[in-house]
A and B are shown apart, each in its own frame.
Chain A
Amino acid sequence: MSSWRFGFGALAVVAAGAALPHLVSNSYVFYAGFITLQYVIVATAWNILGGYAGYVNFGAGAFVGLGIYSAVFLFKAIAAPLWLQVLGAAAAGGLLGLGMGYLTLRIQGVFFSIATLALTIVLNTIVVNWSFIGGARGATVLAPAPVWFPSIVSYVFFATLVLAVITVAVARWIERSWVWRGLAALRANEQAAECCGTPTLKLKLFAATVSGALIATAGAPYPYYASYVEPGSAFGLTIALNALAMPLIGGTRSWIGPVIGALLLSSIEQAATVTIPTEVNLLIVGLVLIGFVVAAPDGLLGLFARRQNQGARA
C-alpha cells in the first residue's frame, strides 16, 4: 500500500468518523467503537516496542491509567481541552517509557519486562494516595460536547478515531524506515546489530518512548467517555493481557497485525461480555494467547504468509 493510498484512506476514515455522529443516533455504536479504537491504539503502540524490538511491556494497563489520570489532572487543574489532555498524556507516557527504558534497557531487556510487571501496582498506589485527582474515591469529569457533536460520546469516539489513525500512521512510518530494520536486527541479535552499525540503545529508547506515549494517549479520552474514574477500573489487568494478545494473534511484524488482532479481540470480547462472565473471558484469552505463542508465533499474518509461500512454491 503506497503512502498516497494510505494517506487518502486515513483522511477518508477521519471524515467518515466526523460525519457518523450526524448519521447514526444509536449511541451504542460510539461506545463500542471507542473501546475497539482504544484496543487498536494500545495494540499498535505496544507492538512498536514489543513486536518490532522484542521487549515485552507487561504494564500497558499502567500506561493507559497514566494517560487517564494525566487527563484528569489537567482537566481539574487548568480545565484543559481534550487535545491538551492528550498531549499531556503523551508526554507523561513518553517520559515513563523513556525513564524505564533508560534504567533497564542498558542492562538486559529482561529487566525492562520485570520492571513493567510491577508498574501497574505502583501507579495504582500513587493514585490512591493522591486526593487531588480523586484518590480511591474516584474523580468525576463532566464536560459539554463541542459544537459539531450531538453527544459527548460521539465526540470521544471521533477523538479516539483520530488518535488511532495517528498511531497506525506512526507505526507504519517506523515500519517503512530504517528504524524498523534496526529494531528487527537488535531483536534478532543485538551484538551483531551493533557490529553492523545499528545504534541499538538509541533505537530501544526511541521505541520505548514512542510506544509509551501512544499507549498513554489511549487513556486520555476515557474520563470524558465514562464521566467517572477510579483506580480499580483505570488500572486493569485486562488491558495488560490484551496488549500482549492482540499483536501476537494478529502478527507482530507489521502494523496490520495488531490492528487485525485488536478488531478481532475487541469484537469477540464485546459479544462475549453479554453471555460469559469476565473470568471465563480472561481464561479464554489466556488460553488463546498460549496457543498462539506456542503454535503460531508470527500470528495470523504469519500463518497467511506461510500459506502464500507454500502456494508460490507448488
Chain B
Amino acid sequence: MLELASNAVVTGLLLGGIYAVASLGLTIAFGLLQVPNVAHPTFVVLGAYCAYFGNLVGLDPVLAGALFAPAFYAAGMLFYEAYFICFERRGRGDTLQSFTFFFGVALVLEVVLILAVGVDLRSVGAGYIGKSLTLGAVTMPYRLIIPFVIGSTVGAGMWAFLTRTHTGLAIRAVAHDDRALRIVALDPARIKRHAFGIAMMTAAFAGAALIVLNPVDPFIGGEYIGRTFAIVVLAGMGSVPGTLVAGAIIGLMESLVVTFVGASWAPGVSFTVLLATLAVRPSGIFGIAR
C-alpha cells in the first residue's frame, strides 16, 4: 500500500513537471500579456510532432525539440503580430472576438495535423525510453524523468530570464502597466511580440517532453486545455514559480486519483481544481489578492 502510494506521489510530481512546462507558454501569454491563447496546447502538440519528425531522421527527440525552438519563436512573433493587427490595434478588444480567433486557430491547427499526419498514435524511440530508475520502493521510468528534467530546466530558465534580464523585466513591466513603459521610451508592442515568441518557444520543448512521455495523436491538445488553464489560474496569473508548483499539485492529484479511485475519473481533476480555485482564491497561489 505504501509502495503504491509512494509511487503514485512520485509519478504525480514528475508528471507535474511536464504539465508545468506545457503551461508556461500560457502563463506568459495569458497570465502576463492578457492574451487568451486557447490554441497554446495545440501548439504543444505541434511541437510534439516536430520532435517526432526529428526523431524519424535519427535525432534524439529532446534535441529535435531544441532545434525547432527558434522556429517556434519566430512563429510566435508572427502570430502575435497577426493578433495585434486584427484586434488590439483596432481598439475593439472584444473578448468574444479574440477568444473566437484563438479557438478557430486551435481547431484549424488540429485539423491540419489530422490531415497531414493522420490520427494514429505516434511515438519516439530513444535509448532511455523503456528503461526505469529504481530508488528503494519507487520505480521511475525514464520517460517520466526526462520530461520532468526538461520542464524544470525550462521553468528555471524562464524564471531567471524574467527576473534577471532587461527584456525579461520589461516583459513583466508591460504586464503591469504599459503606459509607464511608453514614458521610458520602450515600445510595448515590441516587447509583447518577443514575449509571445518566447511563450510559443516553450511549446517546442513542451512538445518534445510530451512525446517522450507518451505516444501522441492530434486530439491530445483537448486533454491539455483544461489542465493548462487550471494550472495558470491556480498558479496566479503570470507567476512562473506558481506554474511549477501548480503543475506539481495537479500532477499529484491526478496520479492519486488514477491510483486510488480510477483512471476514468482523472480528466475531471483539473476542472475541479479550477473551479475550486475560482471559488476560494481566484488570484491563485502566488497572485495578488485584489
Contacts and interface: CB of A to CB of B under 8 A. Distances in A.
- Touch between chains A and B, by CB atoms below 8 Å: yes
Interface of A: 50-51, 54-56, 58, 103-104, 107, 109-111, 113-115, 117-119, 121-122, 124-126, 128-129, 187, 237, 241, 244, 248, 252, 279-280, 282-283, 285-287, 289-290, 293-294, 297
The interface centre, meaning the residue of A115, A117, A119, A283 with most chain B CB atoms within 10 A of its CB, is: A117
Nearest to A56: B99
B226 A282 contact: no
A103 B86 contact: no
Contacts of B107: 237, 241, 282-283, 285-286, 289
Contact of B104 (A103, A111, A115, A293): A293
Interface stretch (B45-53, B163-171, B270-278): B270-278
B95 A56 contact: yes
Top-8 shortest CB links A-B: A118-B226, A290-B104, A286-B107, A286-B108, A283-B111, A118-B271, A289-B104, A122-B271
Interface residues of B, number: 41
Contact of A109 (B95, B101, B230): B95
Given A54-B94, A56-B95, A103-B279, 18 more contacts: A56-B103, A103-B278, A110-B95, A111-B233, A114-B36, A118-B229, A118-B230, A122-B226, A187-B94, A279-B111, A279-B114, A280-B115, A282-B107, A283-B112, A285-B107, A287-B104, A293-B97, A293-B101
Given A56-B100, A113-B95, A118 B278 contact: no
Contacts of A122: 226, 267-268, 271-272
Chain B at the A interface: mostly helix, strand, loop or mixed? helix
28 contacts: A56-B103, A103-B279, A111-B278, A113-B36, A114-B36, A117-B229, A118-B229, A119-B271, A121-B223, A121-B267, A121-B268, A122-B268, A122-B271, A124-B267, A125-B265, A125-B267, A126-B268, A129-B265, A187-B94, A244-B103, A283-B111, A283-B115, A287-B108, A289-B104, A290-B104, A290-B105, A293-B97, A293-B101
Contacts of B223: 121
B225 interface: yes
